[in-house]
Structure 1
């Protein structure tokens, strides 16, 4: 029987950021295979061209080598090389029936974990071994719950098919789209996604979370001409000045009457020295809205500003989408079903069918929408756990008693739909 706490702590000690989850995904493949699941992974589970915000080849290779040093199965991770870290576990029941999917994200964050004595992972010696990376958003717990659910369903004593989706690169909303584009959701009738925490206390469950924003995340590169800033400034074309022009105008975009919006330039880099006209500048910008349509218009305005700012300063430019998500419209009958089953799980004491407690954006939105487009249903649940610090904080942690409760909840949902 899987030791959920030990498993979660192992994942916590080895946090891997988006598309570098080689060790984590390797362990997931091994456990699923040992439980008799058919396992789809590597390029078989993802459309390579649809991955967004892929790290550089050097970063991917360094993470790959680190995973091998830390116990990843060489035969398994070879298929994941280059950032193909999605894993899909499939179990067919003893009779025909619907296909039910559950999604679990695996990636960590580029956060330096706390060494304070009151931080439980530090006190219990399972703090991150990868300095500068940390599981600060409960994805180590989500992955553990997925494997616990796999163990519960391993006997195949149900009617239909279970599909367990272990997703890379949720942070930055980058990884789900490639799984959808590969067709991994095309034969799914029901999908359930969830998140631990999200300001929901221990013992409380929400069947649906609303308020997720549509978003587009882009990186823009500006290319100019360097020149001596004192002797011949007029012969240069200042890429940083073009990027700064774009920044100011992006933040001056007016609000929309048809839906609330967000826009932010989070990174602006350029130049090499005080006496050189900057040849290159890079900007990372995001748009968000409650409406998919408004976000698309906002994105186009940002693109126009970047293009015209570059032209104004006689620069070349290119824009790459490095992440994206759409709003989630959960099916309330699925949310109600989840709450009915949660009421049967010891330790859950407070329930809401739905609540607007979403945090930012979620690319599980693409999975849920694909299932709904093909006639199926889905929901995004919140499962409460008290947290000592906010998500993405160096002292973030979860209460580990939520792990078996969550497994039991998802198992009950699966058996409810597969009887």
Structure 2
């Protein structure tokens, strides 16, 4: 029987950022293969051209070599080289039935984990071994739950097909879209996504979660002409000045009466010395809104400001979308089903069908929409765990007793829905497939 605590702690010690989850994904492949699943990974599981915010080739290769040094199976990670770190486990049951999918994100964050003695991973000896990287959002727990579920369903004693989606690069909302574009959700009748924590206490389960914002993350690159700032400043074209002009005007975009909005320039960098006109500059900006339509308008205005700011200073520019998400609209029927099953799991004592406790934006939104567009149903659940510090904080941690409970809940959901006669007024599967 899988030791969930040991697995989670191993993953916590080896946190890998988006599209560099080589060691993590290789362990997932090994476990799923050993359990008898058909396993798709590498370029078979994700569309390379649709990946957003892909790290540089140098960063990808360094992470690849580190994974090999830390015991990743060379034959497995070779197929993932270059950032193809999605893994899909598929298991057909003993009779025909629906296709039910569960999604688990795997990536960590570029955060230096606390070394304080009151931080449990430090005290218990499983703090991150990769300085500057940390599982500060619970994805080590999500991956562990996914593998625990895989073990519970390995008997194949159900009708239909279970599909376990282990997704890279959720942070920055970068990875799900490429999995969708590969067609991995096209045959799914029911999709269940979940997150641990999000200010929901241990023992509480929410069948769905409302309030996720649409978002676009963009990197803008400005290119000018360098010159001596003292001897010939008029010959220069100041890229950093153009980027700063854009920054100020982006933050001056008005709020909207038709829906809440967010704007933030989180990175502005450029220049090399005090006496050199900066030749290049880089800016990273995000838009968010409660509606997809307003977010699209925010994005249009940001792009226009960047273009006009570059023109003012006679610069060249380009814009790259490095992440995106859309709002989530869960299906009430699946949310209610999840709560019905949660009430049968020991340790869960408080329940809400839905709640407005969003954690910002979520790229599982693309998976949920694809399933719903093709006639299926989906929900995004929250499974509570008390946390000593907020998500994305150096002292973030989860309560490990939530892991076996979560596995049991997802197993119950899977066995409930993996029945030949199960239906929630869905379109006929064969018509969609």
How would you bin the TM-score normalised by the shorter chain?
over 0.9
**CA–CA distance in 2 between the matches of 1:150 and 1:313?**
56
Deviations 1:237-287 (A, max 9, x none): 000010000000000001111111100000000111111111000000000
SS of structure 2 residue aligned to 1:294: helix
RMSD, matched Cα: 0.4
Tell me which residue corresponds to 2:193.
Answer: 193
- Report the CA distance between 1:229 and its aligned residue: 0.6
* Alignment of structure 1 residues 188-337 onto 2, 5 Å: 188-337=188-337
Tell me which residue corresponds to 2:380.
Answer: 380
Tell me which residue corresponds to 2:172.
Answer: 172
Deviations 1:101-147 (A, max 9, x none): 00000000000001111111111100000000000000000000000
Tell me which residue corresponds to 1:364.
Answer: 364
Tell me which residue corresponds to 2:126.
Answer: 126
**CA–CA distance in 1 between the matches of 2:394 and 2:235?**
47
Deviations 1:269-321 (A, max 9, x none): 01111111110000000000000011011001000000000001000000000
Deviations 1:325-375 (A, max 9, x none): 000000011000000000000000000000000111000000000000000
TM-score using structure 1 length:
1.00
* Alignment of structure 1 residues 105-144 onto 2, 5 Å: 105-144=105-144
**CA–CA distance in 2 between the matches of 1:120 and 1:224?**
49
2:396 matched to 1:396?
Answer: yes
- Report the CA distance between 1:398 and its aligned residue: 0.3
TM-score using structure 2 length:
0.97
Deviations 1:198-235 (A, max 9, x none): 00000000000000000000000000000111111111
SS of structure 1 residue aligned to 2:208: strand
Consecutive unaligned residues in structure 1, runs of 5 or more: none
**CA–CA distance in 1 between the matches of 2:316 and 2:277?**
15
Q: Which runs of 4+ in 1 moved over 2 A?
A: none
